[in-house]
Amino acid sequence: MNRAAVLLAGLLGLLLLLPLVASNYLLSVATLILFFAYTGQAWNVMMGFAGQLSLGHSLYVGVAGYAAAGLFFHYGIGPWAGLWLAILLCVLLGLLIGFLAFRFSISGVYFALLTIAFAEFTRIGFDHIDWLGGPGGLFIKVAQRDKMDLLNFRGPPAMYYYVMLALAAGAFAACYFLLRSRAGYYWQAIRENEEAAQALGINTFRWKMLAVALSAGMTAVAGVFYAFYYNNLFPEQIFNISRSIEIILGPIIGGVGTLFGPILGAAVLTLLADGITELLAAMGWEVPGIKQVFYGLVLLLVVMFLPNGIWPAVAKRIGVSR
């Protein structure tokens, strides 16, 4: 365990110092990795803790993003205030979906499809909400970029990087302590065998709802970040099922239910995507679409041969069993 702590501290140190040495490009890549590490961690709470496969997590990113952006655009309410409304809305949504699912005993593939249906329904719905820009998109006015305005969440790339780093580290720490708490044991019990857990007297409904609400709320924060980082939102892009898939790629490849899985998965996938592009460019194979073919092949191989994700294999190698 000590070894893990040391390695973790080392990694954190490296990440803290990154903006000092990295180019803006590398920083933007790193921010993206941390974004997916964070959302992956949030998704992992629902999947790894409560065993529910959500394929519609883009719903929370989108609703939160639009809520905060809408408040800012129409009323000038800053992101730190809008954040609370965003979290509230997403938690309510999550609870609704959870309630519908658990009350009516929907699980597995059916639950996954339910989440997809909600996300798609919302996507088309938002295309018709003119107050939020409709399909034309919602553009937030971008202020000075060289000054750091933490209140309105505007500033240099380094600021966004550190905020995302704080979020990702915070999520990691939160999940760590949650797993070790009573809640964590209940969740693991439910995940392994729900009926047995119920037989032991655990109110599985309540704990599953808690996991769903937590997951939704955490993802909401990412949504608000997204809105103020990119400064424009389109329903077609933010609620899209491909975004939901992007969110879950990290944890599944990294290792579902593990703490470090989402982070490792996000890092590996982002670097892989960029790496393949560079490699193909160097080899002169600039055929559109070929990068995605290689990307898909790697995904396929990982899923086939590392069914528990990359992290468990790596953990064994570096002597950190968890």
Partner 1 sequence: MNRRDFNKAAAAAATAAAFSPLNVRAQAQKLKVGVLLPRSGVQGLIGQSCQKGADLAPGVIRDLLGVDIELMNADTETNVDTARTRAERLIQEGAHVLVGPFDSGAAGAIAQVCEQRGVPFVINIAAAPQITEQGYKFTFRNFPTSVDLVRNGLALIRDLFQVTNSAPRSAVFMHVNDTFGQANAKAIGAILPTLNYLPFKIVDTIAYDPAAKDLTVEVSKAKATNADFLLLVCRLNDAIILRREMVKQRWNPMGIIGPGNPGMYQSQFYQTLGKLSEYCISNVPWYDPKAELTRRIEKAFDKQNPKDKLMFYALDVGYTFEAIMIAADAYRRARATDPKALTEAIRQTDIKQRMMLGGAIRFNAKGQVEGNASACIQNLNLRPTVVLPVAAAEAKPVFPSPDYKKA
Partner 2 sequence: MPFDLVVNVTIAGVLTGMVYGLMALGLSVIFGVVRVVNFAHGEMMTIAMYAAVTLYAAFKLDPFLAAVPIAACFFALGYAMQAGLINPFITRPEHSQFMLMVAVAIIMVNGLLISFGPDARNVQLDYQLESWAAGPILFDKPRVYAAAMALATSAALFAFFRYTLTGKAIRACADNHLGAQVVGLDVKHLYALTFGLGSACVAIAGCMLILIVDVTPNLGPAYTLLAFVIVIVGGLGSLTGALIGGVLIGLSEALAGLFIQPSAKSMVGFALLILVLLFRPQGLVGRKQ
**Are the C-beta atoms of residues 19 and 27 closer than 8 Å to each other?**
yes
Minimum separation from the CB atom of position 125 to partner 2 (A): 7
Whole-number minimum distance, CB 308 to partner 2, in Å?
A: 9
116 scored as a contact of partner 1 (CB under 8 A): no
Angle between helices 241-254 and 58-75 (to 10 degrees): 130
Residue from 16, 24, 84, 297 binding partner 1 (CB under 8 A): 24
Contact positions with partner 2 (CB under 8 A) in 40-99? 47, 53, 55
Helix orientation angle between 261-283 and 241-254, rounded to the nearest 10 degrees: 110
In the bound state with partner 2, the residue whose beta carbon lies nearer, of 31 and 258, is 258
Cα separation, 89 vs 100, whole angstroms: 17
Binding flags for partner 2, 193-222, as an x/- string (CB under 8 A): ------------------------------
The verdict on 150 binding partner 1 (CB under 8 A) reads no
**How many Å from the N-terminal Cα to the C-terminal Cα in the chain?**
8
Is residue 116 within 8 A of residue 49, CB to CB? The reply is no
Cβ atoms within 10 Å, residue 26: 14
182 forms part of the interface with partner 1 (CB under 8 A): no
**Binding segment for partner 1 among 20-28, 84-92, 99-107, 302-310 (CB under 8 A)?**
20-28
Nearest to 216 by CA among 17, 43, 23, 53: 43
Instruction: Cite the DSSP H helix spans in the chain.
Output: 2-21, 24-44, 50, 58-75, 79-103, 108-126, 157-180, 182-192, 194-199, 204-230, 235-238, 241-254, 261-283, 290-305, 310-317
Chosen residue from 32, 241, 280, 314 binding partner 2 by CB under 8 A: 241
Residue span 8-47 as binding mask against partner 2, x where in contact by CB under 8 A, dash where not: ---------------------------------------x
Footprint of partner 1 on this chain (CB under 8 A)? 23-26, 28-29, 32, 124, 127-128, 134-137, 139, 141-142, 145, 156-157, 230-232, 234, 236-237, 274, 277, 286, 288-289, 291-292
